Amino acid sequence: MKTHTISRNAWPSREESTDQALSDETLWRVDLWWRAANYLSVGQIYLLDNPLLREPLKPEHVKARLLGHWGTTPGLTFLYAHLNRAIAERSTNALYVTGPGHGGPGLVASCYLEGSYTETYPDITGDTEGIHRLFRQFSFPGGIPSHVAPETPGSIHEGGELGYALSHAYGAAFDNPDLLVFAVVGDGEAETGPLATSWHSNKFVNPHTDGVVLPVLHLNGYKIANPTVLARIPEDELAALMHGYGHKPHFFTGGFEDEDHANAHRRYAELLDVVLDEIAQIKADSAARDAAGQPQERPLWPMIVFRTPKGWTGPKEVDGKRTENSWRSHQVPLANARDTDEHLKNLEDWLRSYRPEELFDDDGALIAEITAANPPDALRMSTNPITNGGLVLRDLRMPDWRDYGVEVDGAMTEAPRILGNFLRDIITLNPDNFRIFGPDETASNRLQNVFEVTDKQWMAGYLPNDEGDAMARVGRVMEMLSEHQCQGWLEGYLLTGRHGLMNSYEAFIHLIDSMFNQHAKWLKVTNEIPWRRPIASLNYLLSSHVWRQDHNGFSHQDPGFIDHVVNKKADIVRVYLPPDTNTLLSTYDHVLRSKQYVNVVVAGKQPAPSFLSIDEALKHCTRGLGIWEWAGTEVAGESPDVVLGCAGDVPTLEAVSAAALLREHIPDLKVRLVNVVDLMRLQDEKEHPHGLSDREFDTIFTPDKPVVFAYHGYPWLIHRLTYRRTGHSNLHVRGYIEEGTTTTPFDMLMLNNLDRYHLVMDVIDRVPGLATRYAGLRQQMVDQRLEIRAYTRATGQDSPDVRAWVRPDAGETATVEGGPAMPQDTGGDNE
């Protein structure tokens, strides 16, 4: 047998890697291991005491509250046992993704058998008392969850919400060319949309520069209460489906009609060897192609359809009802195990069927033949360092973002396009641990400058005229028209110790609301687990946002992802609304360096004015919010009459324009303009680590003056964030109130009363004494809005009266009153 070192692209076939035949001895050890794993799984679900059944089972040995999932567990342990045999023989660098994550006891048991559980949690010792504690803690208050979870060594995938096993697996495989990701997909999970499309991930994986995902469709036939669809279609349809997904399916059916376990072991072991040899051949071919300078080709990757009974080896019947091979095995087959003598006997018979006396010695330690069935320590899947991504995380090499900044000279820039320059050079500096993910929109979202140094990775077919379309067999940009897929890939990539970002339309990022939830929960829990090391943050760039979907219309307008995000724990989520190009650069510099957060960055892609110089942007972003003195009309040392708050690029332009109008028309009004880039600064410091103290908040927003706040999203979020502030009742927020249609950018603002003219009206209405004195000005604003609307309805365009505002000191091209015309969005590269 070869030495067990992990080497890049070491993909030996079985013949090359070992001279051992698949002996009965080997398979006996696999079976021992499997029996032990199953025993330990059932024990976790049921036993409070008497863990090794050294005395007859009594009711008080059984947990009062039985929780957990048995159904999928024996299949998971069977696959794990066999994979361990192959890993040892081939020195494979592997990890195990458990799609049916509710099979938690099986994975915990596997870790325990590998010794890694005891290494990670020293109180769970390798003896009877350790097993006692292992059983007791499972699904028990103060113990561990019933699912595969962050607490489970070797896991990168919480299976509580189904659908992402393959996306996570491929995310782990990208840029890990010697890695085998063994991904078990439950046949329930397989019915979800995200999983159904994630099979197509194989069109994006490069056989030479990326790792291998080996999907196993665990066809055990039943969900909670129903059969599964894929278990009830003819085998030719299932084979066709897998072929259609780009796979060569290998079918294994075992465990039915009391098949002898030895027979099932031999058949599966032989099949696994065939499959792994096929993978070795694919890898060898790809290496040869690379050596010969030939382009890589997409192979038909093998996959396994693993059809075994749900609840295999469990009770065949309970109370006369079929249980093994039925949905009744899904969770706890003997739900009332201590209620009757018969149930208790059922449970004891079941546990004893694994012959625990053969598995553990007198002290409760595993017998040597079982531990011999483990791979060498360095190859254990449960201790693969990439499954604790922070261990292998390398900080990004970052150029100085200030080198990419723009002058504040009245010119209009597309902020993400400039960010693209910064990202381009980050890609160059970090060629193998940074990727950009997005659903077909990286160019549309204006990051196209990254294509100067990289391409979109694409392993489906090419046509001659694809040239110039930035597609290649290797590339740092991953695009498929599935937000679920992109998010899942990115999560898998981050969880295995790399960096990345996702760009998407703001409205449609809601598609992954629930995936965000699960990732945020994962981060929250790992923050509480000392051995879990911090991973890179999950960064969003939402640059096709609500205010510039005027051409796409109502269906594309929704700024509520921010609202969704801020429901999660304050130490996990960050929301940034950089108002211009330099602040976007500074923000992204920050978020790409951060760890253990979800950073939501919303920054429009349309040409827009710059407000802050590079140095100002740095200071402003460091503070998270600040007074823009040059925009307001404050008198030093005096309290302002009104505060104009703003957050978001478009609202900021309106607020500074409103301030300019006020300066022109009500010169003696003391206006303070406050821009907020880090939204969490608005919250109480007791609620969020970024929160301002009440004193700071009052200093900036005043405790008693009217605040008219122009906000990017739904206005009530600002109220929610500030409801404890002293001056809260003086706060008047404008934002998106779900009024939209196909129209022009400025008309969109007017529909939602967020335009500069309406903000001026709001100030007049709110500052005591102005309403009467400036009734004429107010009417002028009303008329101006009507005129603009009439112009828009007549021409289809925004009125030339609507100008971009630029700083008075910004150069000669612009004045406060005029400024450059607002560019019209042609929508030319939007969906």
Contacting a second copy within 545-574 (CB under 8 A): 551-556, 558, 560, 563-564, 567-569
Spatial distance between the Cα atoms of 50 and 190, rounded to a whole number of angstroms:
38
**524 part of the interface to a second copy, by CB under 8 A:** yes
Q: Please, which residue, 289 or 551, has the CB nearer to a second copy?
A: 551
Residue type, 646: C
Tell me if 220 sits within 8 A of 72, measured CB to CB.
Answer: yes
Residue 804 — left, alpha, or beta (φ > 0 → left; ψ -120 to 50 → alpha)?
beta
The H or E element spanning position 602 is: strand 598-602
Residue numbers 202-231 binding a second copy by CB under 8 A? 203, 223-229
Tell me if 337 sits within 8 A of 46, measured CB to CB.
Answer: yes
**Residue 2 C-beta: closest distance to a second copy, Å:** 36
Alpha-carbon torsion (482, 487, 488, 494), positive or negative: positive
Q: Which residue has the tokens 């696999």?
A: 30
Tell me if 541 sits within 8 A of 601, measured CB to CB.
Answer: yes
Instruction: For residue 68, give both structure tokens.
Output: 């957990």
Question: Burial of 141 by CB count in 10 Å (0-12 exposed, 13-18 middle, 19+ buried)?
Answer: exposed
Spatial distance between the Cα atoms of 311 and 103, rounded to a whole number of angstroms:
11
**Binding test (CB under 8 A) with a second copy, winner from 4, 10, 28, 67:** 67
Tell me if 36 sits within 8 A of 359, measured CB to CB.
Answer: yes
Residue numbers 42-61 binding a second copy by CB under 8 A? 48
Point out which residues pair with 460 in neighbouring strands. Answer: none
Residue type, 592: L
**772 part of the interface to a second copy, by CB under 8 A:** no
**296 part of the interface to a second copy, by CB under 8 A:** no
**Residue 758 C-beta: closest distance to a second copy, Å:** 18
Spatial distance between the Cα atoms of 545 and 557, rounded to a whole number of angstroms:
7
- 74 Cβ partners below 8 Å, 6+ apart? 34, 38, 41, 106, 308, 311, 312, 313, 314
**Binding characters for a second copy, 476-515, by CB under 8 A (x = yes):** ---xxxx-xx---------------------xx-xx-xx-
Residue type, 460: A
Q: Which stretch in 119-127, 419-427, 464-472, 661-669 sits in contact with a second copy by CB under 8 A? A: 464-472
Q: Which residue has the tokens 């491929």?
A: 170
**Binding characters for a second copy, 677-706, by CB under 8 A (x = yes):** ------------------------------
Residue numbers 585-624 binding a second copy by CB under 8 A? none
- 769 Cβ partners below 8 Å, 6+ apart? none
Residue numbers 385-444 binding a second copy by CB under 8 A? 440-444
**Binding test (CB under 8 A) with a second copy, winner from 25, 60, 738, 801:** 738
Q: Which residue has the tokens 């450059």?
A: 820
**Residue 602 C-beta: closest distance to a second copy, Å:** 16
Q: Which stretch in 187-195, 305-313, 339-347, 605-613 sits in contact with a second copy by CB under 8 A? A: 187-195
Instruction: For residue 18, give both structure tokens.
Output: 């070992």
**Residue 613 C-beta: closest distance to a second copy, Å:** 33
**Residue 147 C-beta: closest distance to a second copy, Å:** 6
Point out which residues pair with 222 in neighbouring strands. Answer: 227
**Binding characters for a second copy, 783-812, by CB under 8 A (x = yes):** ---------xx-xxx---------------
Q: Which stretch in 324-332, 348-356, 419-427, 671-679 sits in contact with a second copy by CB under 8 A? A: 324-332
Point out which residues pair with 47 in neighbouring strands. Answer: 62
**66 part of the interface to a second copy, by CB under 8 A:** yes
Q: Which stretch in 12-20, 266-274, 495-503, 718-726 sits in contact with a second copy by CB under 8 A? A: 718-726
**384 part of the interface to a second copy, by CB under 8 A:** no
Residue numbers 122-181 binding a second copy by CB under 8 A? 139-147, 149, 158, 160-163
**304 part of the interface to a second copy, by CB under 8 A:** no
**Residue 487 C-beta: closest distance to a second copy, Å:** 10
Residue numbers 809-828 binding a second copy by CB under 8 A? 824-828
**Residue 510 C-beta: closest distance to a second copy, Å:** 4
